Amino acid sequence: MVPDLYRIHRVRNETSDTFTLELEALEEKSGSDEKPANSEAVSSMSPRKAAPSFAAGQFNMLYVFGVGEIPISISGDSAQSKTLVHTTRVVGTVTRAMRRLKRGDVLGVRGPFGSHWPVGEAEGSDVVIVAGGIGLAPLRPALYNVLAQREKYGKVVLLYGTRSPSDILFQRELETWRSRFDLEVYVTVDRAEGGWRGNVGVVTTLIAKAPFDPPNAVAMVCGPEVMMRFAALELESRGVGADHVFLSLERNMKCAIGFCGHCQFGPAFVCKDGPVLRYSRFKDWIARWEI
């Protein structure tokens, strides 16, 4: 429950309301008896050589001193051990305060926590990644893992949808992925603007025509809950088994260890049993609007 201290190495704006923080771990120099709570005391700290390892799909609890703590999925490459990368949208008090931080400021970090994407289980299968909005951020580490061992998988397809062209995350990286011959990338927007010439419509409409073999596919889905529910139904109708569809849920996680009960979802706790859950396990629960 006690956070480690991390210094902001870089802040990058992704869209008008979404930003990425790259964090480097700190450790106390010998002779220091107390952890500092702000960047003014960082002189008593030195960078660690590496951040804790994590699996694609896991999350950390990020603590802004004097404001509060929130769960944010890790959006960086698990093979890069020097920094932790988190991408989030400004939606509340803590994320607004986080948006005002700059290089050199200090955050508290607890984690990593939770389950992960089935990157190993998907070996030998086609991989379908379906992302809605900021849901691309938690899925990005899984795509990094798959592309790093590309020969172990069949077809790899990324289906990504946002509200508008200006809301597209990681635009330069998407262009790099588009240029690969071993990865299919399809992007759609809810409304076209600014000369957009691509697909228009919700991301679930891309599933029917995506080039993958349904009986031999593993799907990883992250986005707004309603989008994930319909994406899972569309994948099932296409022939992907419910056991091979994985969704990442985002609930009101507070303790991150299944103690407080804030994130209970049916029989599961999202922080401990999730956030990545097999669709077949809770398909009857996600269809209930009151949960």
Average pLDDT over residues 47-71: 88
User: What pLDDT, in 10s, does the model give residues 181-240?
Assistant: 999 999 999 999 888 999 999 999 999 999 999 999 999 999 999 999 999 999 999 999
Residue 217 forms beta bridges with which residues?
A: 126
Instruction: Domains for the chain: give ranges and CATH numbers.
Output: 4-113 (2.40.30.10), 126-286 (3.40.50.80)
Q: How far is CA 125 from the centre of its chain?
A: 22
Non-local CB neighbours of 43 within 8 Å, separated by 6+ positions: none
Tell me how far apart the alpha carbons of residues 69 and 91 are, in angstroms, rounded to a whole number: 13
* The pLDDT value given to residue 228: 94
Per-residue burial over 68-80, b = 16 or more CB atoms within 10 Å of its CB, e = otherwise: ebbbbbbbbbbee
Structure pTM?
0.91
Binning pLDDT at 50, 70 and 90, where does residue 70 land? very high
Half-sphere exposure of 26 (CA within 13 A, CB side): 29
Strand pairing class (84-89; 18-28):
antiparallel
* The pLDDT value given to residue 194: 81
Per the model's pLDDT, the better-predicted residue between 28 and 14 turns out to be 14
Mean pLDDT of the chain: 90
Residue 265 forms beta bridges with which residues?
A: 268
- Tokens encoding 100: 């005002």
Residue 38: pLDDT above 60? no
Give, as one character, the DSSP assignment of residue 52.
Answer: P
End-to-end Cα, the chain, rounded Å? 27
Q: How far is CA 205 from the centre of its chain?
A: 22
Strand pairing class (84-89; 106-113):
unpaired
Binning pLDDT at 50, 70 and 90, where does residue 25 land? very high
Number of alpha helices (DSSP H) and beta strands (DSSP E) in the chain? 6, 16
Q: What percent of the chain has pLDDT over 90?
A: 75
Binning pLDDT at 50, 70 and 90, where does residue 50 land? low
Binning pLDDT at 50, 70 and 90, where does residue 37 land? very low
Binning pLDDT at 50, 70 and 90, where does residue 284 land? confident
Q: Please report, as a single letter, which amino acid is at residue 93.
A: T
